[in-house]
Copies of this chain bind each other. A is one copy, B any other.
């Protein structure tokens, strides 16, 4: 038990703007990583592609290039901000595991699965996206999709609010 717990592991944590992904990271730091842990913690943020309807409507160009550039900048700033926040939360790991950050672009469902394989993660940690019934039916849950498609173990951490409200 103890010997193997000390082997090098690559833990991939998918982070986003939501509280639930930060809770997932916190839970992982407290419950999966111990003083004996070794290896790398990778913080992955996936920037969603800009929805097409923000660039065009039936009449042609709705938004100017300036506005599009501003939106891209905002999206980049959010990504940096989330990753920085997540990195700060891992500051106590400094002597235990390496912490790496990655910002990728695309549909989170696909990119998280691809990066899990590409990086050879030993475990994928993520929040459970709290979509309602309709949104989940249309989009599918990111965590469900990943749990079905990645080959390594997946740890899905619910946001704590649901613990408090659901009795």
Contact = CB atoms under 8 A, between A and B. Distances in A.
Interface of A: 1-2, 4-5, 9, 24, 27, 29-37, 92-93, 96, 122-123, 128, 141, 143-144, 147-148, 150-158, 162-163, 166
A143 B151 contact: no
Nearest to A154: B156
B157 A151 contact: no
B147 A156 contact: yes
Contacts of A5: 30-31, 33-35
B35 A32 contact: no
A24 to B, nearest CB: 8
A155 B150 CA distance: 13
Is chain A's binding surface mostly helix, strand, loop or mixed?
mixed
A79 to B, nearest CB: 25
Nearest to A11: B31
Q: Which residue, A5, A37, A150, has most C-beta atoms of chain B within 10 A?
A: A5
A9 B31 CA distance: 9
A123 B4 CA distance: 20
